[in-house]
Structures are given as structure tokens and as C-alpha cells.
Chains A and B, each alone.
Chain A
Amino acid sequence: MKKRIMIVLSMLLMTSLVFAACSKPTNNQPGNTGNNKGTTSERESPAQGDAGGNASQELRYNLHSEPPSLHPGLANDNVSGGVLNQILEGLTTIGKSGKPEKAIAEQIDVSDDQKVYTFKLRDAVWSNGDPVTAHDFEYAWKWVLDPANEAKYAYQLYYIEGAEQANTGKGSDDAIGINALDEKTLEVKLVNPTPFFLELTSFYTYLPINSKIAEANKNWADNAGDLYTSNGPFKLVEWSHNDKVVLLKNDSYWDKNTVKLDKITMTIVNDENTVLGMFEKNELDWAGSPIGALPTDAIPSLRDSGKLHSQAAASTYFYKFNTTEKPFNNANIRRAFAYAIDRQAIIDNVTQGGQFPATAFVPPSIFADNSKGFFADNDIDKAKGFLQKGLEELGYKDVSELPAITLSYNTSEGHQKIAQAIQDMWTKNLGVEVTLENSEWAVYIEKLHSLDYQVGRMGWIADFNDAVNFLEMFRDKDGGNNDTGWENAQFKDLLAKSSTEKDAAKRTQLLKDAEAILMDEVPVLPIYFYTNNWVVNDKLKDVFIDGLSNIYFKWAYFEA
């Protein structure tokens, strides 16, 4: 008897598991899928196999991970940014020219000393009908600066007067130079003349928040639904965590006549090969950069078949030297290592993504002549000369006395291949012994930050389209992202001068001079400038990717 009961019980248990597991709503179920999923207005993928005729304006895009947050103040990654750029719009936005254009701001007045910006807002509304006001911007920006909130990108607002003080708890909220003078006028006071400020106002940390909703609901950005209102070309209608994000055309957008796509479904699939497979089977209209990547192995054949699209990106792949220890405390040794690399060979044989060899630090999309660089790629004769000089200065008789160099990178196949190639080049060209060391990402970053390395790899993606974003990290040796222990009085001086220089041309020259010092002293060894590589449905036109690799679907459409 007991046995019978047990059988029945265990079967019940098993079936309850099955039912519990089955309770997830399937996607072809119309209507509401429950509170935490927001609402769906899903039609069964009609875009499938749509050839010719009345082109369906539905884009199927992929994100390589779940967006960590769709709260503009919390977002600090390109996936979140990639969604936010479609659904929220700031005072300015990067237009098809690649320059910031007026968006929610209708008129922008800059004071003579370039430190006060006055924005007049146009009559824009949120997707629930609320007007977009100057208070929405003031609220959003001050929210980011409130130390009680966990905004990692708060420092993106430090150009504003009183912002850093407020964020570090040393100043009050009222002392921040952000003032909504009336419903439609926003006045912003800056610390220094900031020529790239209108670029910044297009960045996602500067996006507005519907303050009426956010003040009452702390968790407004957690899900799609009534609380998440949009003021951009598209509105968020479904966010199924780890699964997909669905956007529809926003009919209350001020420039809605420009928007042609009706719907964007952003699936969340991480594996690059899978994403490419889905693209090839017409399950996606886009695969690859900027939000995601193509599998390296597939790039050469995609290029040969003419399907590959490439665009330079404002980012640099480089190695850092720990300049506080022998032998890289010696500039000549660093130069020798920097000159003894054949960057073109690495690009042709290892990375294969059509990157550009970098012998400068600031990408050519910011300083055009940096495509030529400050020194010649693969200049072995010079490298040997520098090595000899460096060895003498350090008191070594010859290269065999130089202890083995450790080259560190974070665990990844791509970084490993590059490191192996460079290891080989240094051994062959300079005769030094090089060992490789990899560690898991978080461990690796800690090592760099604590100067527990000799040579280590790093990549830097511009936050805004200005050289200072690349140069300022080497201003102070204890600065957050320096990691090299390198500091140079002249370099520092040039950067300081550039931050108060009002004349754009003079400022650029100051920054170029600073970069020349950096590339002469080489505390960093640039390797290549990144490119964005992707494949796209032939019928999809006018997707715009700006210099910072932000993607915009505002103008995109499918050709019939």
C-alpha cells in the first residue's frame, strides 16, 4: 500500500514539474503575456520570405546579450545603448552627416565664453502623450549625478558645473549647473569650454527620462509596459528578458514621417556562428557589428563573396607597458618593442577583419592623418637600434641578459592568436624571450589596475568623438585608466591647455602635439584600429552607423 502511494506521489511530483516548466507563454499566443513581460502585439513573423512586392517594414536584428538596463542613467554598454538610441532621443542626435544635429532641442545658444548652453526644446511628446519638458532632462541628469543611484557613467556628466562635486558627495544638488528655466528651456553651465558638448548631449547618459512617471515609480525601466514611455523614433513594446526586445514605430515622435520601419524585433542570441547561421537562413536581416560580431573564420569568405560591409570604428587595440619596472621603464626599450611588430601581417593573417594598422593612438575617424601614424610599421632596423641603446642605458651587455618578458592578455582565442604572433615577432626581430600569460577577465583587469604585469593588451572604444577621450587617460599616472605608471609634464600641460582653449583649430593642434609625445614615449603600443564588419539583407537600406559605432534605424527601410 505504502508503495502505491509513493508511486502516485512521485508521479505527481514529476508531472507538476512538467506543468510548472510549461507555464511560460509561447510567442504565438496573442495578447497579453503577463505583467512582467509587458504586452505583446506579436504577429507570427510575416517578414519571413518576403520577396518583392509590398516590402514589409519589419526588421529582424540581433543583440549579442540581454541589455543590462534600459534606464539611460544606468546603461553603460553598447547593447543597452543600441536599444536606447532607437527609443529615446536627447537634445541632439548624431545625424546622417556624422555630426550632432538638433533633435529635441530646436534652438541651441552658446555663450561667448562657450561655458553656458541654452537649449530651447521643440514641442515633442512621450509615447503616452506627456510633453517632453526641460524638467525631464534636468531630472534625468541630476538622477545620474545623485550618489545614491548606481550610475556608473555619472562621470560622463562631469563637464557640467558642480556635477563632480554633487556626485562625490561634496556639493549640493542645487549647485549643479543644470537648470530648467521653464517648461521648454534648459540652461547648462559647464566647467570649461567643451567643444564636444553637443556630441555628449546625444550620448545615452544624457537622454531624458519622463520625470512624471519616474518620480512615482522607481522601477519604471525594468520592463516594457505603460511605465516605459519613449520619445524616440521607436517605442518599446515588449522586453522578454534574455529572449527578445520588440520595438514599434512611435507615432507620437516629432519626426515620425522620416521613420519608415514599422517594427524592429531584436532577438538575443549570443553565439556568433549561430547568428550568422540565422542570417543565412533568413531568420535575421543583420549579423555582425556593431552590436555583436561576425565569427573571425567566416570573414575572409564573406569578403570574397562581396557580402561583407566594413566601416572604421573609433577604437584602438593596443598593448600597455608597465613603465614602473625594468625593462619597460626605459623609453628606448619600449620603442624597440613598438617598432618590431608587423601590424599589417597580424591584420592579414590573424584578425582578418580589414582593420587598419595603428602607429598612432587616436583613431583616424577623429584625426584623419593618423592613418599614416607617427612611425613606420614593422621598422626592424630602427627597433634594433633602439633596443641596443636601451640595453646600454639599463646596463645589459646584450639582449641575452634581458630577462624573459611576460605578455599578458585576458582569456580569449582572438587575443591569444595576436599575442602568439607578436611573441614570435619579438623573438625573431629582437631576440628577446617572451612568455604568454592569460587570465580570466576580472582577474586580468585587477592585474592591470594594480600594475602587476609587464606588457598587457587592452582595447579602447571612444565614448565621444574627440581625441581627448583617448588621451586624457594618460594624464595622471594614478588616473583610473592609465595602468602604465607613465606620466609626462609636457603632455599634461598640453592637455590642460587644450581644456581651456576656445579656438577649435588651436585645440586640435594642442591635442595632436600631446599625442606626438605619447607616441614618442610609447607607454602604449598601438596595434590596430578596429573596423565594424557586418552582413545585411540586400533590401535593407539607410541604416546609419556613426563614428562611435552607434547604430540608428530612424532612416532605415526595406526596398520593395
Chain B
Amino acid sequence: MSSFDLSAISNSLPFLLEGLALSLMLTAVAMAGGLILGLLIAILRLSRLRLIAGLAALYVNGFRAVPLILVIFWFYFLVPLALGRPVGALYSVLVAFVMFEGAYYSEIMRAGLQSVRSGQWQAAKASGLSYLQTVRLVALPQALRKMAPLMVTQGVILFQDTALVYVVSLNDFMTSVTIVANNTNRPVEMYVFAALVYLLICLTGNAVASSLKHVRAIA
């Protein structure tokens, strides 16, 4: 085996970038969808109605109890069954990720909403704002500021988790790296490269998270 050879990376760069694009796209969609779904579930979970709060808790605990890989399998086989037609690996994976992340983001949101002082809720209530107006105008903006760093961290974990989509034959970044490593017989170079990319994403995420902490300190 010759010394460290970077040509394996440069030669398959378009293929690797395609994998990276899929991973980033999955992360973006799952973050956006997970945030919206998570917020909805968090609000339901804080409901006074026990049944609604209970169902929301069941959802969250259910998804948190099983590994993501199982959820991906489920939706791969379940979504086509439910719809009566094949939807393809990508769509089933998108649904799986959004549902799964929704459970995790709802816990972050719930903690955020609950961390808003009771006096703030009382002040909003006293001024005649409705419960949903209070959430939207008073509690959520404060909760999001507090929770933004955590949500970014969750996004970084999510990016790493996209590697699991290989189980339904999708080429995410990690899968592309593995394929190139096998084809070129250059596993050392490829896996070092992969580690560097993950490190870069993680550092970027951390930088964003800490800058958000700073924003929070001002406001």
C-alpha cells in the first residue's frame, strides 16, 4: 500500500458531493419538519386535557424508545402499505426522520416553554391574550432563544444519523464514502476524509450554537 493518496477523493468528488447533498437535505427537511411537528406535540403535551396530553406523551415516548433504524424500516414498509402504492425510499425516509425528530424536538420545546416564568404567562393572561396568543407572542420567542443552542446540537446529531439510510439503499454521505473506499481500495484516506467532513459540520454547528447563546444573552 502506497502512502496517503488523495486522488481517490478528488476522482470521486462529484459522487461524494451527491452523498453529502442528500445528507444535508435530509438534515434540513428533518430539522424544519421536526421543529414544526415538535412544537405542535409540545403544545398538545402541555394541554390541560389529560387525554390529549397523554396521547402526545405516548407519541414522544414511543419514538424515543425505539432506535431510528427501526423507524426507518417501519416507514419504508408501512408508508407504501398505508398509501396503497410505492413511494420510494427517499420519501419514506423523509417521513421517518420528520416523525422521529419531532419527538426529540418536542421535548426540547416543552422544556423551553416550561422554563418561561409563570409570571410571564400570568401577565399575558391578565392582558387578555388567549392561550395560543401567549404561546406565540410571549412564551415561544423566549423559549426559542433559550433552546436554540440545544436545537442546533440536535441538528448535528441528526446529520450524523442520516448515515442510517443505507439500510434502504440510499446513498448518503457515509454510504458514498464506503462505496468509494471499497472500489478504490483506499479506506484510510476515505475514512479520514469522512471524519474531517463530520468534524467540520460539527464545529460549524457548535459555532452557530454558541453565537445563538450570545444573542440570547443580549435580549
Question: A and B: partners?
Answer: no
